[in-house]
Every structure is written in C-alpha cells, then in structure tokens.
Structure 1
Amino acid sequence: MANRVERDEELVGAVDPADDGMMRAVVQKRYGDADVLHLARISRPGIKVDEVLVRVHAAGLDRGTWHLMTGRPYVMRLVLGLRRPKNPVSGLDLAGTVVAVGSGVTRFQVGEEVFGFGKGSFAEYAAAKENKLARKPANISFEQAAVVPVSAVTALQGLRDAGHIQPGQKVLITGASGGVGSYAVQLAKAFDAEVTGVCSTAKTDVVRSFGADHVIDYTREDFAKGTQHYDLILDCAGNPTLPRLRQALTTTGTAVIAGGEHGGNITGMSRQLRALALSPFVHQRLTMFASTQRGTDLEQLADLIESGKVMPYLDKTFPLERVAEAMRYLEAGKARGKVGITL
C-alpha cells in the first residue's frame, strides 16, 4: 500500500495485536475538487524513530487541506507530487491518543493524549513527528483540540513573529470570523492589543464573542476608508489591495499578509511578492510569512487555552465518511470559526 512506510525496528508500544493492520481513511488518487475524496480501507502507517503513532479521535479542516486536495497553487506539487499526491491520505490537524512510539521518542508515552500536526489525519491512525505534537489541554475535548494546530499556529506566528505585535497597539484582523481569524482576534487580545475584526454581516456576533473590541461589517463599511489607522494588520482573507492596506495603516505600521485565495495558480503569492518588493521603498512595513509546524508553539497555545485566554470555536463537525461534504461546507464560506472531523 502507498500509505505504508518503513517501520522502526525498535517500536515501543503497539495497537491491538489481534487486528489486521488495516484502517479506515479518506484518500485521494488525484488532485481535484471534493469529489476526489473517498473513504477506503488501507494499511495502517508505520512510524520512524522520531515519530509516534496516534489513534485519531478527531481531525481539523482548514484551507491548507483544500490546497492539498486541489494541488493548487501548482508550485506545491513539487513537494506533494507532480501528477498525484505522494501521500494519498488527506488531513493535517489531529487530536488523539498515542498508541506507539519510535525508539528515539522521549517526550511522549503510550496512552498520552496529544494534538498537533499529523501525516494524513483523516484516518483512524496517523503518524506524527514528536516535535510537531503537544499534550492536549485538559479543559477541551478532542474535537476542539483537533481544530487548533494549523489555524492557531498560523495566527500566532503571524502576529508574534511576522507582525512583532506589542501591547497597546491597534490591530486589524481581516477574515476575523474564519479559522485563522478566530484565533488571531483572541491572541491579539491576549497580547493586550486593541482589536478590530473585519467580517460579513452574518458573522459580526461571533467575532464579538471572540473578544474583538470593534467589528467592521465589510458589506457596509470599507476599513481602508475609515478614520482609524492601525499599527498592525493581519490580513487573513478578502484579498485587499496593497494600496488599501497601506491606507489603513499608520505611517509606520505593519501589514502581514497571511492568506488570500486569489494569488494566482502558479505560486499563489503574487500579492505577497508585490508587498515584499514595495516594502523597502515606503515607511510602512509590508510582509508575508509561511507558517512552520512547531511543537513549541502548540505548547504555548495549550497554556493559553488552559488559562482561558484562547478557546477553539468549533462551528460544526462531520463524521469521517462525510469529509467531502465538510470540504464543500468550508469552500462555501459558511463556517464560523473551525470545522472538525470526528472518528
């Protein structure tokens, strides 16, 4: 099976030896829309010395899984597989229980509850590198924990690492009702910033519930034409032009472009690249970033969740066999916060 990898000879712990080594998983044999996703029975993955095997209780759905499904922008295929996915199992986010560990793993033991980044999480079992996991916060469910990793880490790195957020700053979050935006609003508040969220009319209430100090309904008001100017903009959605972002910034403000689905099919980053080219010639700082999967960031997020400063907002869950339907729900822009997959 394509999903099987070489097993570590010194595997510690094991799943039930009476089973047949197979599992249910959502797979795709080619790139395309949600119709390429289907449920299949395949061999359970093996793990390497620095990996753990997780019995998946829940998985998260995000725009990253959409990109993996479609193979767009096309530059991603240089890594994912030119004609078809190298790993046919979909999914990145997961939460579950460790059932086996590689001989080099020191941070986790069999039986521990974890969350983080896996290799094909839309399955009953998934392999994950030790340094891309953290212990699940005790005060949230597996379903909530599963929708944290990709979106919350992106929001954290966008604000902290790329945006250099400081207490007291005025921060604007576009796409504030979405996956990344829902965490960005809460994290910016945790960093003691004054936060304005941008969203549609139907989602203003949920953005306020995230803790936003102000909410802009983009169907009625253009954030770039208001009297308020922002020290930091985290642009998660909407694809505002660079002139509009600059118009909304203070004279020395920073705009971090974290998303945008209209950056071209080749690189997907045309607007980001224009921002980087322009930034050296203006007083404002225009930048972008690519999020990195790090267990240390998951640990920081777990602390914030356990303290109550950040909480996953789970809009809707779908069972494993309805992943294609969940993807269509995400594509339609209906989600408020995050969408989860349950096993």
Structure 2
Amino acid sequence: MKAATYKSYGSPEVMEISEVDKPFIKDEDRVLIRVVSASVNQYDNLFRKGYLPTRIENGLTKPKTQILGIDVAGTVEAIGENVTKFKVGDSVFGSCVGSHAEYVCPRQDVIALMPNNSTFEEAAAIPCAAQTALQALRDVAQIKAGDKVLIYGASGGVGHFAVQLARYYGAEVTAVCSTSNIGWVRDLGAHHVIDYTQEDFAHNGKKYTVILDAVGKRTFFSCLRSLTEKGIYITEHPLYPKYHPIQLMMGSVIGSKKAKIHLAKPNGSDLDLLRALMEEGILRPVIEKCFTLNEIAEAHRHVDSGRTKGKVVLKIE
C-alpha cells in the first residue's frame, strides 16, 4: 500500500510517498480500515521535527514508527473475531497511529460509526482535536453552566471545537483569535471575541473560571490575574519549545488557582458523543484546506505556519 513516510527527523521535505506492507488483523479486537481521509495535526509535526520528548518515544536518532497520522475516516474491510461494534462495509472514524496511509488496523474501542450527516473529510477532522477539547473542558476543567471560559487560539483545530463544546455545556465563551478569524469564530457560538493583535486579554481586568490555551502560546503565570480565585488554566501543547513543562510543574498551584497539562485519550464513547452532537447540528468541523496524500509535505508546511483555520485534511483515496 502507499503511505506517507519519514525516515529522518526534519523539515516537511523529509516526507515522501512509499510502498509499505499493508497491515493485517493480528489481534482479535482490531478492525482493518480502508482510509478515505485523515487529518494533519500538530502532533504529526512535533514527531516529524523530532522534538526531544517525541524522540524518547519514537527513537533518538531516527523514527521507529515512520508513518504519521492519528485521525482516520474510512470503511471497514475486515474485522477480528472479537469485534462486536462494527461490520464489513461500515463507515467509521476515530484514532489510529499511522493513518497517513491507505490502510490502518486500530482497536475497535478507539473508533466509532461516522456521523450520518458528515463527509469522510469532515469525519477525519474530528477525532483528535474534538476529543482533546471535550476532555479538557468536561473532565479536567469540569465546566458547568454559567462558567466563564476563555479559549486562546480559538480558530485552530482544538480551539474551534472548544468554542462549540464550551457553549454546549452552557458556559459564557470568550474566544481569542486574530482579526481575520473573528467573524467565523463568532458564528461558532462565542459570546465574546478578542482580537489578540489589538488587545491582550490578560490586561483587560476580566476574570475567567477556565482558560484553555489551545495553541501553547501562553503560560500559567501570564494568565494568573485573569483567573478567578479557584480558576484553572489548561495547556494542550506542553511540547512546544516556547513553553517549558518545568515552568508549569513548578507553578501548578498558586493559591487556589491551578494549572494542568492535558493530552487526549482516544475512546469510542467520546466519539459516540461527538457523533451525536454532529448529527444534532451542535458541533461542526471547520476545514480550511484539503490536500492529497502526494501533497503531504505541503500539508505539513501549512500546519507548521501556525495559522491554520480549523483543520487541515488529507484525501488518501
């Protein structure tokens, strides 16, 4: 099968299209999926660049796992003996390392049936970013109706889902983004939108129950005066060089204000919830651009820019 691979760490130019072995079902709880669409996340760029924390997991000098991608949407071609949730021919979406390829073989508990009102491209845009936003707000922050939530990086992959999910849970949502994104971010349901090129929210005197830094460009300390007495700051990108994890750990609690690092844990139950919200019209992915598998380097360059509006999707088929 064809796959986008990288045999060394570096710039987007290390990505190439290769012929690799097609995966097959080894474990009885796995599903073979013919990939139609996938998406490109910051996760992929971090691994491709070879930041130190990723090298510890994936090889210090060269990558052990050479196919990137963690979001998948496609059709089921085969199932293991213990698979009960899916049948051959089902359209599914979910999480699976190595999805920038024609086939993947995930466990059944990290995928779900696709929303009945979504395209494969839309479904592929959902899993990683939307689960990250959902778990950060629902599980880490435990938001409730009436909470004041600020989403920093509201026009990005995680951020634009966070705006919609915070609104779903009844919070008063303030979105922070650049000038060109104000209109469509407001349309997602944000009550207030701050243009960070014109105003720093940390100096406007307003307090928030939750500050979700969806792009890893703020620190706990820079947000302290904007948190309520028992407010919580959450960062989604602790691997960025700009943001050192030690700083977060040293200052994880100041008074009754807390800071948390959050990384998503894929699971089928959350995907089922996201599917329901999509079908009810409560949640929708914003896709800025689609690339073909052959354009993988260009897709990485686009995500590297840090100015993605919503999601970037790969058309594999």
Is 2:42 the counterpart of 1:63?
A: yes
Is 2:155 the counterpart of 1:200?
A: no
Q: Which structure 2 residues correspond to residues 125-204 of structure 1 after superposition, within 5 A?
A: 125-204=103-182
Structure 2 residue identity aligned to 1:112: D
Q: Which residue does the alignment assign to 1:19?
A: none
Q: Which structure 2 residues correspond to residues 204-215 of structure 1 after superposition, within 5 A?
A: 204-215=182-193
Which of the residues 322, 328, 335 maps onto 2:295?
Answer: 322
TM-score, normalising length from structure 1? 0.88
Is 2:205 the counterpart of 1:227?
A: yes
Q: Does the CA-based 8 Å contact 2:156-2:307 persist in structure 1?
A: no
* Whole-Å separation in 1 of the counterparts to 2:235 and 2:96: 25
CA shift for structure 1 position 183: 0.3
Shift >4 Å, 4+ stretches: none
Is 2:66 the counterpart of 1:88?
A: yes
Structure 2 residue identity aligned to 1:299: D
* Whole-Å separation in 2 of the counterparts to 1:298 and 1:68: 24
* Whole-Å separation in 1 of the counterparts to 2:53 and 2:72: 25
Closer/same/farther in 2, CA of residues 77 and 331 from structure 1, 3 Å limit: same
Q: Which residue does the alignment assign to 1:282?
A: 255
* Secondary structure at the counterpart of residue 55 of structure 1: strand
* Whole-Å separation in 2 of the counterparts to 1:88 and 1:288: 27
Q: Percent identity?
A: 40
* Secondary structure at the counterpart of residue 110 of structure 1: coil
* Secondary structure at the counterpart of residue 223 of structure 2: helix
Q: Which structure 2 residues correspond to residues 23-62 of structure 1 after superposition, within 5 A?
A: 23-48=1-26, 49-62=28-41
Q: Which residue does the alignment assign to 2:269?
A: 296
Give the number of equivalent residue pairs. Answer: 315
Closer/same/farther in 2, CA of residues 106 and 292 from structure 1, 3 Å limit: same
CA shift for structure 1 position 238: 5.2
* Whole-Å separation in 1 of the counterparts to 2:171 and 2:276: 19
* Secondary structure at the counterpart of residue 43 of structure 1: coil
* Whole-Å separation in 2 of the counterparts to 1:151 and 1:132: 14
Q: Which has the larger radius of gyration?
A: 1
Q: Which structure 2 residues correspond to residues 242-281 of structure 1 after superposition, within 5 A?
A: 242-259=220-237, 262-263=240-241, 270=244, 272-281=245-254
* Whole-Å separation in 2 of the counterparts to 1:60 and 1:90: 10
* Whole-Å separation in 1 of the counterparts to 2:147 and 2:46: 33
* Whole-Å separation in 2 of the counterparts to 1:276 and 1:33: 30
Q: Does the CA-based 8 Å contact 1:162-1:288 persist in structure 2?
A: no
TM-score, normalising length from structure 2? 0.95
Q: Does the CA-based 8 Å contact 2:202-2:223 persist in structure 1?
A: yes
CA shift for structure 1 position 98: 0.4
CA shift for structure 1 position 250: 1.1
CA shift for structure 1 position 116: 0.5
* Secondary structure at the counterpart of residue 271 of structure 2: helix
* Whole-Å separation in 1 of the counterparts to 2:56 and 2:308: 30
**Which runs of 5 or more residues in structure 2 are unaligned?**
none
Q: Does the CA-based 8 Å contact 2:216-2:240 persist in structure 1?
A: no
* Whole-Å separation in 1 of the counterparts to 2:238 and 2:247: 13
Q: Does the CA-based 8 Å contact 1:94-1:121 persist in structure 2?
A: yes
Q: Does the CA-based 8 Å contact 1:237-1:260 persist in structure 2?
A: no
Q: Does the CA-based 8 Å contact 2:238-2:261 persist in structure 1?
A: no
Q: Does the CA-based 8 Å contact 1:239-1:260 persist in structure 2?
A: no
Q: Which residue does the alignment assign to 1:117?
A: 95
* Secondary structure at the counterpart of residue 40 of structure 1: strand
Q: Does the CA-based 8 Å contact 2:76-2:87 persist in structure 1?
A: yes
Which of the residues 311, 314, 317 maps onto 1:341?
Answer: 314
Q: Does the CA-based 8 Å contact 2:220-2:251 persist in structure 1?
A: no
* Whole-Å separation in 2 of the counterparts to 1:289 and 1:110: 35
Q: Does the CA-based 8 Å contact 1:80-1:86 persist in structure 2?
A: yes
* Secondary structure at the counterpart of residue 128 of structure 1: coil
What whole-Å deviation, never above 9, does each CA across 1:295-324 have from its counterpart, x for those lacking one? 111111111111111111111100110011
